[in-house]
Structure 1
Amino acid sequence: MLEGKKILLGVSGGIAAYKAIALTSKLTQAGADVRVIMTQSATEFVTPLSFQAISRNEVYTDTFEEKDPRKIAHIDLADWPDFILLAPATAHLIGRIANGLADDLLTTTLLAATKPVYVAPAMNVHMYKHPAVRNNMQRLDSWGYRFIEPGDGYLACGYIGKGRLEEPETIVSILQQEYTKTQRWNGKKVLISAGPTRETVDAVRFFTNYSSGKMGYELAKAAAREGAEVHLVTGPTQLSAPAHVKLYQITTAEEMFNQMTLLYEDMDIVIKSAAVADYKPVKQTNKKMKKKDGNLFIELERTKDILKYLGDRKQKQYLVGFAAETEDILTYGKGKLEKKNLDAIVMNDISNKEIGFQSDFNEVIFLTRDGTEKKITKSKKEEIAKQLITFIENEIRKD
Structure 2
Amino acid sequence: MKQCKKNLERLLGAVAAVMLCISSLLQVPVMADELKVYARAALLMDASNGRILYEENGYEKLPMASTTKIMTCILALEYIKEHETTVWEEPVEVSGHAASMPKVKLGVQKGDKFLLEDLLYSLMLESHNDTAVAIAEYIDGSVPAFAQRMNEKARSLGCRDTNFITPNGLDAEADGKTHETTAADLARIAAYALKNEDFRKIIGTRSYTFPELSGRRTFQVYNKDRFLDLMDGAIGIKTGFTGKAGYCFVGALERDKKTFVSVVLGSGWPPHKNWKWEDTKTLMEYGLSKYTEKCILQPYTYRPLPVEEGISAQAAIRLESGDREKELTMLLSAEDIVKVTRQYPQKLKAPVTEGTCIGYEKYFVNGQLWRSYKILTAESVDLRTYSYCLQQIFMLYF
**TM-score normalised according to structure 1 size:** 0.23
**TM-score normalised according to structure 2 size:** 0.23
* Structure with bigger RCO (C-alpha 8 Å, 6+ apart): 2
